[in-house]
Amino acid sequence: MIRQETVPVVAREEIAPGTLVVGLRSPHLARESKPGQFLMLKIPGGNLLWGRAYSIYHTDGETVYILFKVIGRGTKLLAEEPVGAKVQVIGPLGNTFTPPGADEISFLVGGGVGLPPLYFYAKMNRDRAERIRVFIGARDKDNVLLEKEFKQLGCQVEVSTDDGSVGVKGLVSNILENSIRNNFKMKARLCIYSCGPNPMLKAVGKIGIEQGIRTELSLEEAMACGLGVCLGCVVKTKCDGGQAYTRLCCDGPVLEADKIVWE
């Protein structure tokens, strides 16, 4: 159930330069949130007309965590909020990744701030971590996020970097494709879940479609209201033999790869 609350910041940690994890105490959000969903968050007194959308990283007890990189004014304001400060939040919003089937092998593909919802998925399914393989892409070794955290859950992890400073040099979609090729006997049991920048999602979706693998992509678009009113986050999708516009905030952000029309 969606709810608007004013909640306290109970944890704050910079896990990489300019990348923070913030914990918000809300029993409602901790109980109701599911992998793939997000929050709309606003700093009281921050003089921002609209809130900002943040993917849910994970939940623990009465706390919901978000992971973000400081980029613009909204994230800068949040990064400066100390433990004990109050923030306004609406959530949980959006749809979720499909829960894994009994025999499914889950391939999680992400990079940067696209990794939090994938980590939440892995944590919620940690009892089957041996069936989860994670592919992390980054510019360089200093921008590789959550490798240790995924491994602590028991997941297999592969890393690629643009400059080859850690892991395999190249795109994360390349190591995904190689892994599918190496596991072709299990292809019928594979499912792909991905979140990150659009060029990566487009490449991952193309691989999934060509290989006949069910692929779900969590798209990132600027959101103002988060409730489907402003129509600022629409993307073009296939619908009944034609095309339509889908609101990511309420009909997404998770969409099947073969439904998306890339432009």
Question: Which H or E run contains 203?
Answer: helix 198-211
Q: What is the pLDDT of residues 136-167, one digit of tens each?
A: 999 999 999 999 999 999 999 999 999 999 99
Helix H or strand E encompassing 76: helix 73-79
- DSSP state string for 133-166: EEEEEESSGGG--SHHHHHHHT-EEEEEETT-SS
Of 186 and 88, the structure prediction assigns the larger pLDDT to 88
φ, ψ (nearest 5 deg) of residue 209? -65, -45
Angle at CA 18, nearest 5°, toward 29 and 26? 10
d(CA 191, CA 98): 10
| Residue from 55, 48, 126 nearest 92 by CA | 55
The pLDDT of residue 184 is 80
Chain mean pLDDT for the chain = 94
Question: Domain extents for the chain?
Answer: 3-93, 105-259
Check whether 187 has a pLDDT greater than 90. no
Tell me, yes or no, if the two domains 3-93 and 105-259 fold the same way. Answer: no
Reported as a pLDDT band with limits 50, 70 and 90, residue 26 is: very high
How sure is the predictor about 32, in pLDDT bands with cuts at 50, 70 and 90? Answer: very high
Whether the bond between 92 and the residue before it is cis, its omega within 30 degrees of 0, is: yes
pLDDT at 221 over 90: no
Q: What was the pLDDT predicted at 229? A: 85
**CB neighbour list of residue 171: distance below 8 Å, 6 or more residues apart:** 137, 160, 162, 200, 203
Question: pLDDT at position 145, please?
Answer: 96
| Mean pLDDT, residues 60-69 taken together | 96
Please write the tens of the pLDDT for every residue from 83-126.
999 999 999 999 999 999 999 999 999 998 999 999 999 999 99
Mean pLDDT of 172-195: 93
In CATH terms, the superfamily for domain 3-93 is Translation factors (2.40.30.10)
Enclosing H/E stretch for 204? helix 198-211
CATH number of 105-259: 3.40.50.80
Q: What pTM, to 2 d.p., does this model score?
A: 0.96
| Residue 44 binned pLDDT confidence (cut-offs 50, 70, 90) | confident
For residue 49, pLDDT beyond 80:
no
| Amino acid at position 98, single letter | T
Task: Give the span between the Cα atoms of 52 and 42, in whole angstroms.
Answer: 6
